[in-house]
Amino acid sequence: MPEFCNVEKDGRILTVTINRPELMNALHPPANAELGSVFDDFCADPELWIAIITGAGDRAFSAGNDLKHTASGGGGLEMMPRGFGGLTSRYDNDKPVIAAVNGVAMGGGFEIALACDLIIASDNAVFALPEPRVGLAALAGGMHRLPRQIPLKQAMGMLLTGRRVSAQEAMELGFVNEVVPRADLLAAARRWADQILECSPLSVRATKQSVMDGLKVPSVEEAMDGRYDSVRRLMKSEDFIEGPRAFAQKRKPEWKGR
């Protein structure tokens, strides 16, 4: 059983709850390694199609790196192969991951959320990359993901000052999809997950891979000319036939994911 997180499977959805509330869900190397293993299993499990990640308690999604652990001699800023929270350096996952951000998402906690495909925030959520204020830098992807997700000047305003951004401002800046009352957060994340589940899982994965890989090249033409493994799998799948057939028969499709 995981020690630093709770894992719940419900049909096609995996919910991962970072469970160090007494430390505002800050993560140390053992917790990062454990989350890496959890998401390895998620990616490898054909029965799981979507993941939701959140934090235990009402105060924090994750306050980032456990600096007290580092300062006590518990290790340096060790980075796991799959990155902070098992997500920030995970570039080969084509399944959707939703961040349900309750309370504080600081430093590495914010970087986990930025590495997800959607961010649903509670109305008490607060986002920041305050690493420069403690002599560090947002090395788990924050310096690169944030300027790709919001306008450059707004991103630099956050990165160079470490200032805190409310859930509402995050929504206005564009890196949050929806803001809801704290009590409704997981239900809202599940609502987004259920909408994704209405779609072909192979279509969803082909879309995610195409978008992410397409962003690596400078022009739309090059992106459209790219060759994507997930697209090839989609076009050879049963679901590629099932979708149009269900539409013609005026019924809901029965997705197989193959």
Are 7 and 38 in contact by the 8 Å Cβ rule? The answer is yes
Separation of first and last alpha carbons in the chain: 30
Q: What is the largest CA-CA distance in the chain?
A: 64
SS3 state at 181 = coil
Question: Which structure tokens are listed for 181?
Answer: 């009352």
Active site residue 131: yes
Catalytic residue among 34, 131, 172, 198: 131
User: Which residue shows structure tokens 């409704």?
Assistant: 184
Q: How many residues does the chain have?
A: 258
Integer Cα distance of 73 and 223 in angstroms? 46
Integer Cα distance of 254 and 239 in angstroms? 8
User: Which residue shows structure tokens 């084509």?
Assistant: 94
Catalytic residue among 111, 169, 172, 221: 111
Planar angle of CA 106, 111, 115, nearest 5 degrees? 145
User: Which residue shows structure tokens 């493994």?
Assistant: 229
Integer Cα distance of 111 and 243 in angstroms? 36
Active site residue 178: no
Active site residues: 111, 131
